Amino acid sequence: MLTYWLTNGFDRKAQIVTAVLVALAIVVPLGSLLPPDDSVLHISTYQVTLFGKYLTYALLALAVDLVWGYCGILSLGHGAFFALGGYACGMYLMRQIGTRGVYADPVLPDFMVFLNWKDLPWFWYGFDMAWFAFLMVILVPGLLAFVFGWFAFRSRVTGVYLSIITQAMTYALLLAFFRNDMGFGGNNGLTDFKDILGYSIQSPGTRAGLFAASALFLAFFFVVASALTRSKLGKVLVAVRDAESRTRFIGYRVEHYKLFVWTLSAVMAGVAGALYVPQVGIINPSEFDPAASIEAVIWVAVGGRGTLVGALIGAVVVNFGKTWFTGMLPELWLFALGGLFVIVTLFLPTGIVGLFARLKSLRKPPVAPVAVANQSGGAS
Amino acid sequence: MSEKAEGSILYLDEVSVSFDGFRAINKLSLVLEPGEMRAIIGPNGAGKTTMMDIITGKTRPDSGDVLYDGKVDLTTLDEAGIARLGIGRKFQKPTVFESHTVEDNIELALKARRGTWATLFHRRSRSEQVRIDELLQTIRLSDKRDLLAAKLSHGQKQWLEIGMLLAQEPRLLLVDEPAAGMTDAETAETAILLKEIAKTQSVVVVEHDMTFVRDLGVKVTVLHEGSVLAEGPLDQVSANPKVIEVYLGR
């Protein structure tokens, strides 16, 4: 059952993406660790971390595309799941600091000592163990999404109303995490990490390892998403997107389908956040900023909604542009981003992926439709 | 619950519903026998579509009984639950899944387990494939099976929707204006198709087109201001002075 499911999902698109990501997971760490620093083949630790960060953004974009592109749920609050996964990972990293903190308390993180707390809050228990933290990376965003989705989808909140509540959800979390007495480091968040799984978080080897992990997790979730969207369930999701009430009238409980894909997507976003935090070295409430969630939607729109590959391309391209732009003309970045969104919506409704598909169909010779049909039939 | 419900496939008794004070359905009663085909006619705003909405769970009645198969209370179920009982509905405006192929549209409607896990790991069986092929043949879209539904003409979409309805293998079909926007030839063919369906299933047809209703040759119910005005064969009903008054105006 599972094998059929995965092989059916492992189409040519998924094969290419997986191959590229696995190749990156091998080549980039090798390029970072093997050649001497002055070699042209050398990839600096800064670059490794930067690209690693892009890959975690790509995973977030993939999560957004799954709900928005396939099921029509426009989430403007996916950053919340990303940030919660990030906080769960950050809590683990904080507990690893131990006596190396400024106040050298073996149990309490620095900010708690600073706030004169005597005991570790109950919700910090267990985060000294990596397996527990990883479980929380999945459970916390998943559970929040499940509860949120349970109420929202059962009450049949859709369209712009749902988008607004997702936005409210992430904003509420932003305000909550800003408070010092929440116990998550308030405004400053969690930072000054030292070790991850016993390895120094700053060392080039760890950075390369984190990059490889990001690439492999992305490949894994891409295959899952691909298999999902190609299954009959994926067809039901698209049916919900296109004609929700029709789908109900042929007997599908739409709210169950939405809840399933919504929760899965939140888990993906959480894992993305957990991979992001050790690479950038900090997690603070600004990750809950509604603008961050909107940005993720823009990546998907730019890459091409409802294509999966488009989400990855969009996330990498836009963030590459952001890095470049904020280096050159930092004050203009938001205008550029807004302009990009307007241009894509007006002229490229199917994004970069759609543009390529259109160029390809233009170049295709009009006279050999049979051969083309055979080729595509053989490949799928 | 009345004993009259026994043996019927669909039983509506004294059903009323109002929207913001407007009585869309007013003490409507209707009984459909198994295997019966019934045409519902009536001027605009008579409550035809609202009646369909009540039967399929889209709208909850304020009062009255709605029973399926003489015993199942439809007012307590949601749309998906009612569809799973075997009640299929075709909308006035053809609604097919535009970004799916014709074949996938049929597959989605095909009678099968509708749960999330069942569809996630669903694999099309040989018997399902045979059934899909048969249905495509019935609705004459076999050569269009790989085409996106969005590319179909209006009439073809209507047929595809009828095909999806058949794929559900319902015991009761509710068909809202199947001939709307069709050419005369298509309308005649649709009447033949519906009569074919009515041999094995119960059908309720809402229609404006009188020639079409005449083609069907079945018992007619006339709705007016949310309740039944007259019932009987078309000729008898259209001779009824009350019906003439409603249709031709005062």
Q: State whether residue B113 sits within 8 Å of chain A by CB.
A: no
* Inter-chain residue contact B120 with A252, CB threshold 8 Å: no
The secondary structure of residue B16, as a DSSP letter, is E
* Inter-chain residue contact B115 with A238, CB threshold 8 Å: no
Q: What is the pLDDT of residue B2?
A: 55
For B114, nearest residue in chain A (alpha carbons): A252
Q: What is the pLDDT of residue A10?
A: 85
Res. A371: pLDDT tops 70 = no
Among B residues 161-180, those touching chain A with beta carbons less than 8 Å apart: 164, 168
Q: Could you tell me the residue ranges of all domains in chain A?
A: 2-326+338-363
Q: Where are the beta strands (DSSP E) in B150-201?
A: 172-176
* Inter-chain residue contact A251 with B95, CB threshold 8 Å: no
Q: What is the pLDDT of residue B249?
A: 60
Q: What is the pLDDT of residue A374?
A: 36
Res. A103: pLDDT tops 50 = yes
Q: What is the pLDDT of residue B21?
A: 84
Q: What is the pLDDT of residue A365?
A: 55
Whole-number percent of chain A with pLDDT over 70: 96
Q: What is the ipTM of this complex?
A: 0.89
Question: With a cut of 50, which residues of chain B have pLDDT below it?
Answer: 1, 250
Q: What is the pLDDT of residue B105?
A: 96
Q: What is the pLDDT of residue A360?
A: 85
The string of pLDDT tens digits covering residues A126-135 is: 999 999 999 9
Q: State whether residue A40 sits within 8 Å of chain B by CB.
A: no
User: How much is the mean pLDDT over chain B?
Assistant: 89
Q: What is the pLDDT of residue A380?
A: 32
Q: What is the pLDDT of residue A113?
A: 93
Q: Select from B144, B153, B157 the least CA-distant residue to B97.
A: B157
Helix axes A159-178, A78-97, angle to 10 degrees: 20
For B119, nearest residue in chain A (alpha carbons): A233
In the A/B pair of chains, how many CB contacts fall below 8 A?
85
Strand, helix or coil for residue B149: helix
Whole-number percent of chain A with pLDDT over 90: 79
Res. A377: pLDDT tops 70 = no
The pLDDT of A151-160, averaged and rounded, is 95
Cβ contacts of A286 within 8 Å, gap of 6 or more: A174, A292
Q: What is the pLDDT of residue A364?
A: 63
Q: What is the pLDDT of residue A359?
A: 87
Res. A304: pLDDT tops 90 = yes
Among A residues 206-265, those touching chain B with beta carbons less than 8 Å apart: 228, 231-233, 235-236, 238-239, 242-243, 245-254, 256-257, 260
For B83, nearest residue in chain A (alpha carbons): A251
DSSP B61-114: -SEEEEEETTTEEGGGS-HHHHHHHTEEEE-SS----TTSBHHHHHHHHSSS--
Contact B229, B49 (CB under 8 A): no
For B108, nearest residue in chain A (alpha carbons): A236
Q: What is the pLDDT of residue A69?
A: 95
Res. A369: pLDDT tops 50 = no
